[in-house]
Structure 1
């Protein structure tokens, strides 16, 4: 899975690129899922940082515990810890409450990108690394016009059906009158 915003992280761990790419892909159709993928991105990054500093415990340690330890040991600056926590909390809300709209997902994408740049500058030993501008996910498609056309077509079909029903009702009444007259 390629990514315009996260591709530079492949030198560290291809899973970072994969999670970022999935978040970009889900952005348009499923913002909560995009946010969940970014939470996974942030959790993996926190584990990679802990491992680089030989403080990674194991899979049973929660994301919050890892972040708390990285902050307490001053391995990550407070500003970076705050970005991690933002993605953790947004991801939890997306997972447990299905919360997250396009605005939240876009913010999460930008935050994750900022974390990725910081990570690459810090652990790739490239303090002047410039990834270029953030590339927004594809634009949302405004379906209003096509939906209006579809609604109008359905209204026409309903009107045609109602007219056919009315014609059939009149013909049935005429048949009844003809029958009564003949009797």
Structure 2
């Protein structure tokens, strides 16, 4: 895998750039980020692959001894040796189990893929912090539905979820130091969250080209 292209892809990804030293995680995560609205099934395939690759990396770094060569075996071994706290174990289990859940409509698939993408991001943050000790705030930036590729009815139906993610991102960015008031701090944080979403949307085209070239 071309390391320079992976670095460029990490720079374009709204949610997985901090994993730039882990090329496959960037590739799977950024790929899912781009596909979540237009091909939710493909996004969930990459999401599951992200989880499996992360589990493989953790097995290599620990004394875990999987009883088989499947994602399930790796997660169970990591749980058994104490690598995974309960919350992280449940996050891995959600990614592992997603392929077994039938979703029969596009909107349902997109909702499931978007929620799993958020889970992927949370696992990536946990992994990054465990390796580096970095505790700086990292917020999930909800991808913007591409207007020419997603029916307006689907975008409208997802509006509440996307607004919730934006509000959570604003809370992550809420820093009171040097602010005149809590009201001003919240306003600045909301503006920063909106800017992060717009910036991520503007980078989607170049990120898509990089993912395609790395395929």
TM-score (norm 2): 0.58
Deviation at 1:92, TM superposition (A): 4.3
Q: 2:26 aligns with which of 17, 21, 38?
A: 17
Work out whether residues 63 and 81 of structure 2, in 8 Å CA contact, stay in contact via their aligned partners in 1.
Answer: no
Q: Which whole-Å CA distance do the structure 1 matches of 2:28 and 2:152 have between them?
A: 31
> Is 2:128 aligned against 1:120?
yes
Equivalent residue number for residue 201 of structure 2? none
Partner deviation per Cα, 1:7-39 (whole Å, 9 max, x = no partner):
10112x111011011101111211111111010
Q: 2:84 matched to which residue of 1?
A: 76
**Please, which runs of 5 or more residues in structure 1 have no aligned partner?**
146-183
In angstroms, what is the RMSD of aligned CA positions? 2.7
> Hey, what's the Cα distance between the residues in 2 that align with 1:140 and 1:82?
31
How many equivalent residue pairs?
A: 140
Alignment of 1:16-165 (within 5 A): 16-55=25-64, 61-93=69-101, 101-126=109-134, 128-131=135-138, 133-141=139-147, 143=151
- Following superposition, which runs of at least 4 residues in structure 1 exceed 2 angstroms of deviation? 54-58, 91-94, 97-100, 140-145
User: Out of 4, 7, 23, which is 2:14 matched to?
Assistant: 4
SS at match of 2:91: helix
| Kept in 2: contact 1:36–1:92 (CA 8 A) | no
Structure 2 CA distance for aligned equivalents of residues 98 and 46 of structure 1: 30
TM-score after normalising by structure 1: 0.68
Give the match's secondary structure for 2:20: helix
Q: Is the 8 A contact 1:19 1:38 kept in 2?
A: yes
Q: Residue 88 of structure 1: SS of its match in structure 2?
A: helix
Cα offsets for 1:154-173 (capped at 9, x unmatched): xxxxxxxxxxxxxxxxxxxx
**Cα offsets for 1:41-79 (capped at 9, x unmatched):** 011001111111143669x61100111111011111111
CA deviation digits over 1:85-135, x for unaligned, max 9? 0011113447xx999611101100111111111111112222x1322x211
- How many Å separate the matches in 2 of 1:138 and 1:106? 11
Larger Rg over CA atoms: 1
